[in-house]
Structures are given as C-alpha cells and as structure tokens.
Amino acid sequence: MTNAQTVVSIQNLNYFFGEGELQKQVLSEINLEVKAKEFVILTGPSGSGKSTLLSLIGCLRSVHQGSLKILGQELNGATKEQLVQMRRNFGYITQSSNLLDFLTVQQNIQMSLELQPDFSPKEARAKTAAILEAVGLAQKLDAYPGNLSGGQKQRVAIASALVTRPKLVLADEPTASLDKTAGRNVVALMHRLAKEQSSAVLIVTHDNRILDLADRIVNVEDGKLGLAFNQELSLVLPGFDDALLEKATTKPTLLTYESEEVIVHQGEPASKFYILLEGEVEIFQESPDEPPRLINHLSRGDYFGEVGLLRGGKRTATVRVAKNSEVKVMVIEEELFQLFLGNSELTKADIVRRLHQRVMTSHLSNALPNVDPSQIIAVASQAKAIRYGANSTIVKQGEVADKFYLILEGEAEVFVGDRHNELASSQMKAGEYFGNAQLVDGQKYPFTIRAGANTDIEVMVIDRESFCSLILKSNTNQDVVASVLRHRLMNS
C-alpha cells in the first residue's frame, strides 16, 4: 500500500483540555498515517483519548499543536469554515446510527448527498437505490427507522456514510448496540464496500470480535499511540494469554523493513519469531548452483521463524520483503516464544500444525520444482503427515498405487522380490519420495518400503487425485514429469 494516496497524516500532535493550571494533556506526540483502502482499528481503554483523536481527524475540534493533514491539507490553523468544508469528504458512523425517525430510509441517505456541491435530485435517487442494494436493503427504501432492526439501522448508517464515496470513513463504536452476529456483519459490510470505493476507514472500538478485519490495529493508552501487541498476538496465536507478557523478561519489538530487504537468511542461526503486521514478504529456498526458488508469499497475520526455532536451530529459508512493499513485523525473542508454547496447548497446536504444513511445502517444492508454488501450498495444506514405527511396512509390493509418499523425517528401506526371496535394494532419506511413477501410470508398486530398522519415520501422504492434479497443473508436460520421476525412483 506504499503507493496509495495518503488520506490522513499526523505528526507530533498534542491536544489539551482546559486552560492555565487546570489544563490537562489528553493526546501526546501522536504520529499516524492512513492511506486509501486501509482499514485501521483504534483500540484502548475508556478515557485513553481514542474518541478525542477521532474527533480531531473528523474536523470536529481544532488542532492545538502539531500537524494534522487530511488529503494533503493542513488543519492546524484552519478556520471553522475550512473545517466544515473538509468534513464533506468524510462519512460518519456512530453506535446509535443517528437516523431521523420522521424521514424514510431514502430521505435519511439523501441528506448526505444534499450536502455535496453537485447535488442532483435525480442522481441522488439513483445513488440511494444503488447503495441500499449494496447493503442488502433495497426493499426498505420507503421504510421508516422505527420499523427496522438494530442491524438494519446500522446498515442504513453505513449506506449514508458511503453513498458520497468519501475519501475517509470514521466510525465510533459502530457495533456497541448490536449482538455478536449483527455487529460482525455490519463491520464486514463496511469493510467490503469501503475497499471497493478506495475509502480509508478509521474505527474506534472495544469489540475484539472484529479485530481480524483490520489492516492495522493501533492502541491508544494514556493519550499515546502504540502498537496493539496483545490484540495482534490474540489474532495470530489462539489461546494467547495477556498475562504472559507481564511474566516475560523480554517484550515484543517492532521492526520496519523496506522493499526487497532481507529479513532472515537461510542457514543463519534462528533466535527470533516474527509476526507480519503490515506488507508482504516472499519465502525463498536456496540450493547450491541454482537460483533462489520462490515457495510462498506471506501477508498480514502470517508468521514465520518457527521452523528454525523448533527444528535444528537454523533458518531453513530466506525471507525477503516483496517488491514495492514496506513491511512491519513484531519480533519475539526465543524465550518469549517458548513461553507462549509452554503455556497454551492451543497456541502450541496451531504452531505445530503450521510447522508441519511448511515442512511439507518445503519438501514438496524441492521434489517437484517445476510446479507452481501456489499449487504446492494448496496440496500440502490438505496432505497428511503419518508417522510409522521402526520396521513398519509403508507400501507392499503388488499393491495398487493410490498415494504419493514423501519422507519428512527418518529413513526408509526399499525391498524387491517376493516375501520368500526379498532383497534390500536401497535406502531413502528425508526429502526423497516414492509412489509417483506408479500413480501417473496406474501401476502396482514394484517394491516394498519399510521404515528403517532403528528409527521411526514421518511421511507426507498425498492421494492419487491430488497428486495427478498437481502434475497436470504444472508448467511441465505430464509425460516428461512421469519419465523424470520414474528415473529418479529407479536410481535412488
């Protein structure tokens, strides 16, 4: 979003209540930037300054100190008339919807249009009908607010706020009077329509049920702006307990990286866990004498770094900021990461699940380098990881091939011949695979494969339909793939 228009720009903003000895500072050194299409949520305890900040951005108060620019226009020193003019670029949504009971839904919405300089009654009727259709209330055009439910009233309020296609939408506790389902629905609707119209949205809320819709969460406490660590962690890590941060000797930190900057290098020691708060990153795997291979994209709400911390202590891939993107990450030291895992089974289960998926994606990408990364990720997310005990049979000679197997951990032995005259043919280790050639050609297994004699083995298992679909969607001809895979198997 680095190239998007800046709608709100605040630098070193201070605001006070009262004068002289009774003066109290309620906002201190606020710095904030909101761009077009951004959906930003302001959180914080009651009395922290959230609503005051929102009213300043909404031109309902005059700036005391610092810079506040809306659409490039400086508001420090602006006259009342200039503030009124600027407010016509905004859409407003409050917790009570503020509809006039003696006007119909259509008339309530058209009031927003009548404030615009190019007002046309005919166009206003068409725009009103269109926005009501968008919020699912086309049949309520002539209804009065008294005949609407709470959720319907808020949808009308959203329609009123967005009908002018404003550059900025401001919402103050829009879900406060709604139940869980209705509140979630109206904010999701606002989110979708604002994105379609390229509007920036700034919401003040205490409602944790809608935090996952945000592009960014900003916390206001004691008049100061900061990163909402607890809220961000609760979104990413199920079972996260706020009290854990109080116990830890280290705290999360925030780092910013520029376009194409490398965050972690493959092979370096792993000591940190990263949560992506803004922007996009690309994951590459590097092999000797080969160019880096893209295996994944991550965006807000994703995390990385857990593989190195939980397996071997070294980075297994390089993470780089995507082109034309600026990235902000929450950085968590290993001690705090282990504390999170040790105190929540839900957090541990989620991270282990993601770990397995990424390990499987990595191995599958190495095994099938010509297949599109997005297809690899889709199949790996549906694949199963199965652990076999030492000497366990995984596939038996003569069985019809119905699965593709890729070794994630441990070793396997390949045997040929019947059970009375079975000979060990070769060994296979992590990263190698079997069953592929037989799946493509619809054959039986010409071998028996067992887990090693002294160790368990973990394998990724992909059903025939998914594997063949993966090959068909690859950039390589199916016959060539089958030939290459068969050659690799027979020479393993």
Q: What is the pLDDT of residue 27?
A: 92
Contact 309, 337 (CB under 8 A): yes
Domains defined along the chain, listed by start: 6-227 (3.40.50.300), 238-367 (2.60.120.10), 378-490 (2.60.120.10)
Under the banding of pLDDT at 50, 70 and 90, the label for residue 477 is very low
Q: What is the pLDDT of residue 475?
A: 53
Which tokens in the block code for residue 359?
Answer: 């390990």
Contact 281, 327 (CB under 8 A): yes
Q: pLDDT tens across 49-59, in order?
A: 898 999 999 99
Q: pLDDT tens across 43-85, in order?
A: 988 888 898 999 999 999 999 999 999 999 999 999 999 998 8
Q: Looking at 78-87, 239-248, 290-299, which range is the least confident one?
A: 239-248
Contact 162, 109 (CB under 8 A): no
At 169, give phi and psi (nearest 5°). -115, 130
What gap in Å lies between CA 245 and CA 224, rounded to an integer?
20
Between strands 224-227 and 293-298, the pairing is: unpaired
What gap in Å lies between CA 477 and CA 472, rounded to an integer?
8
Q: What is the mean pLDDT of residues 261-284?
A: 93
Q: Looking at 97-106, 210-219, 239-248, which range is the least confident one?
A: 239-248
The sheet carrying 393-395 orders its strands as 393-395, 448-451, 411-416, 423-429
Under the banding of pLDDT at 50, 70 and 90, the label for residue 245 is confident
Q: End-to-end distance of the chain based on CA atoms, in angstroms?
A: 48
What gap in Å lies between CA 336 and CA 355, rounded to an integer?
18
Under the banding of pLDDT at 50, 70 and 90, the label for residue 389 is very high
Q: What is the pLDDT of residue 255?
A: 93
Is 489 a residue whose pLDDT tops 50?
no
What does the mean pLDDT of the chain come to? Answer: 85
Q: Which residues have CB under 8 Å from 477's CB, separation 6+?
A: none
Is 371 a residue whose pLDDT tops 60?
yes
What gap in Å lies between CA 320 and CA 265, rounded to an integer?
9
Q: What is the mean pLDDT of residues 214-224?
A: 89
Structure-model confidence comparison of residues 491 and 176, the more confident one: 176
Q: What is the pLDDT of residue 454?
A: 85
At 100, give phi and psi (nearest 5°). -90, 120
Q: Looking at 191-195, 242-246, 290-294, which range is the least confident one?
A: 242-246
What gap in Å lies between CA 2 and CA 33, rounded to an integer?
11
Q: Which residues pair with 264 in a beta bridge?
A: 319
Per 3-state DSSP, the chain is made up of helix, strand and coil in percentages (nearest 5) of 35, 30, 35
Q: Which amino acid is at 395?
A: V
Q: pLDDT tens across 439-464, in order?
A: 767 788 888 999 988 889 999 898 88
Helices (H) and strands (E) in the chain, counts: 15, 26
**Distance from the Cα of residue 410 to its chain's centroid:** 34
Rg over CA atoms, the chain: 29
Q: Which residues pair with 415 in a beta bridge?
A: 424, 448
Q: pLDDT tens across 347-366, in order?
A: 888 888 888 888 888 888 87
What gap in Å lies between CA 240 and CA 238, rounded to an integer?
6
Q: What is the pLDDT of residue 408?
A: 86
Q: pLDDT tens across 145-162, in order?
A: 889 888 888 888 888 888
Q: What percent of the chain has pLDDT over 90?
A: 27
Ranges assigned E (strand) in 64-139 = 65-70, 73-74, 90-94
What gap in Å lies between CA 348 and CA 354, rounded to an integer?
10
At 357, give phi and psi (nearest 5°). -65, -40
Contact 65, 25 (CB under 8 A): no
Q: What is the pLDDT of residue 117?
A: 76
Q: What is the pLDDT of residue 248?
A: 79
At 430, give phi and psi (nearest 5°). -55, 135
Q: What percent of the chain has pLDDT over 70?
A: 95
